[in-house]
Amino acid sequence: MTSPSQTSVFHPEHHAHLIPYMAAIYASGINIDRTTAIGPFLPPLSLERLLIWWKDRIAEHQARTRIIILLLPPSENANQKPKGEDLRGIAMVELDQSQAGDFRGVIDLLIVGQKFRRQGGGRSLIQACEYESARKGRSLLTAKTETDSASELAFKSCGYVEVGKIPNFSRTSVDAATKRGVTLFYKEILLQTQQSRTTAGA
């Protein structure tokens, strides 16, 4: 499905006012979806800790060690700032800083607001992660999703190769004993990006 939304790389000048909305959509993933695969938190969430965590992620984006991508409604005017309520989803890629791994990235957040799911937004965010990562010379992306979740299906449908599953990987808010498993994925992206550019230029 072609998404009715568009993706945009986070830009402080245009998007700084969206930070509380980014924190809110992320919090909904933890509080409502109860997903355990997006960051370090379990409910109940501390707003203060959440905002500190987001400030750290934005600092990484500005230091070019992370890419933050927003899902927004289509805009005809590139200079018009989106409203907070316009934010539909977020994805992030952590760019490996090691000498041995400077061609790798990890998609460590993918979330689409409940109202906007099953409209291609998740796929657009994953594709934008790939495009922006390839532009930064990254050719290998990895991801970790909760097993048997919508995100597992989304990564599979975007061509990610499943490496395996780790059972009982994350604690949940259910009780101290209940844990959930994760599924690990990878995708080699640069070759495809080069191929599609060649095809587009043919």
Q: Which residues bind ligand COA (CB under 6 A)?
A: 1, 29, 33, 35, 37-38, 110-112, 117-123, 145, 149-151, 153-154, 157
Q: How far is the CB of 75 from ligand COA (least distance, A)?
A: 19
Nearer to ligand COA, 82 or 89 (CB): 89
CA distance from start to end of the chain: 26
Nearer to ligand COA, 82 or 142 (CB): 142
Which is closer to ligand COA, CB of 142 or CB of 145?
145
Block residue for tokens 């689409």: 112
- Output the CA angle 104-24-158, nearest 5 degrees: 35
Q: How far apart are CA 147 and CA 182, in angstroms?
A: 5
Q: Residue 128 Cβ, how far from ligand COA at the closest point, in Å? A: 12
In the bound state with ligand COA, the residue whose beta carbon lies nearer, of 33 and 94, is 33
Distance (Å, whole) CA 63 – CA 57: 10
Closest residue to ligand COA using C-beta atoms: 122
- Dist. CA 45–CA 139, nearest whole Å: 35
